[in-house]
Amino acid sequence: MSRRRIIAGNWKMNKTPSEAVALCAELKDLVKNDAVDVVYCVPAIDIVPVVDAVKGTNVLVGAENFYIEDKGAFTGEISAPMLKDAGVTYIIIGHSERRDIFGENDILINAKVKKAFAAGLKPILCCGESLALRKAGTYADWIKRQITWDLDGVTADQVKDLVIAYEPIWAIGTGETATADQAQEVCKMIRDLIAELYDAPTAEAVRIQYGGSMNAGNAAELLSKPDIDGGLIGGASLKADFGKIVNA
Ligand code: 13P
């Protein structure tokens, strides 16, 4: 089975609404590629203008966060049904910045994955190890535990629609990319784990991205690996280089 490549930008906390619309215009012709799913995951306040700005193009819109309740007294939060209604397709869940800075644990992340599916959103579930775990050599166990927890109670059919992003924390925003072989090793391990937790067809279908200082210079090599189906890109998604990654 051949999996469709998915290149997603994670804009993080960057771009005001008017800057977001300008970036969409800058990237419009550069990200054209009908063979690839192209996604902009944008700050909540940019969702409505970005959905409007990419209308009629190949770009899909993603969100960076939400809360697990549908509505109610949760000041400051937005819900999965709100995102869906606004035109969002993908939702990033379990990013290391949310785990580390905002204290999100695997119980909440698991609830978010289930809620996202229930609302008709496709999760991009992030996992990855710290530099200390990489150096200690225990990163594989750590990542397996994250994914096993995060997918508890999630069905095989849902996992076939899931995107998993392997993002080693030591490679995020540092300019230090995992080598293509290091990234492939972990992405294959994740696919093998999905085969173990579910079955071979589910493992064949799930799409696995690499993220962490991916750029126009290193994307082609990373994406040439058999178990790397795409990228989740931070810094380089905010400039014209993103088009080169989409077309790498
Ligand atoms: P950078 O591409 O800036 O390293 O960020 C990666 C990331 O965290 C994407 O979610």
Q: How confident is the model at residue 189 (pLDDT cuts 50, 70, 90)?
A: very high
pLDDT the model gives residue 2: 86
- Token duo for residue 145: 């535990």
C-alpha 234 to ligand 1 mean position (Å): 4
For the domain made up of 5-246, the CATH class stated in words is alpha beta
With the most atoms of ligand 1 within 8 angstroms of its CB, the residue from 6, 12, 91 to mutate is 12
162 in ligand 1 pocket by Cβ < 6 Å? no
The pLDDT of 169-198, averaged and rounded, is 95
Q: What pLDDT was estimated at residue 1? A: 56
Q: What is the spatial distance between Cα 215 and Cα 239, in angstroms, rounded to a whole number?
A: 10
pLDDT for res 175: 81
Share of the chain above pLDDT 70, in %: 100
Q: What is the pLDDT of residue 174?
A: 86
Distance in angstroms (rounded) separating the CA atoms of residues 93 and 95: 6
Q: What is the pLDDT of residues 1-54, one digit of tens each?
A: 589 999 999 999 999 999 999 999 999 999 999 999 999 999 999 999 999 999
**Where along the chain do its domains lie?**
5-246
Rounded mean pLDDT of the chain?
97
Using CA atoms, how far apart are residues 112 and 118, in angstroms rounded to an integer? 10
Ligand 1 atom nearest the C-alpha of 165 is 10
| Selected catalytic residue, list 26, 69, 95, 176 | 95
19 is catalytic: no
Q: Say yes or no to pLDDT of 126 above 70.
A: yes
pLDDT digits (tens, 9 = 90+) for 40-79: 999 999 999 999 999 999 999 999 999 999 999 999 999 9
10 lines ligand 1 (CB under 6 A): yes
Q: Tell whether the torsion through CA atoms of 115, 229, 240 and 35 is positive or negative.
A: negative
Centre of ligand 1 to C-alpha 174, Å, is 9
Collect all residues with Cβ–Cβ distance below 8 Å to 204 and sequence separation of at least 6: 1, 3
Residue 113 has pLDDT above 80, yes or no: yes
Structure tokens at 216: 């126009």
For ligand 1, pick from 39, 163, 213 the residue to mutate: most ligand atoms within 8 Å of CB: 213
Task: State yes or no: is 26 an active-site residue.
Answer: no
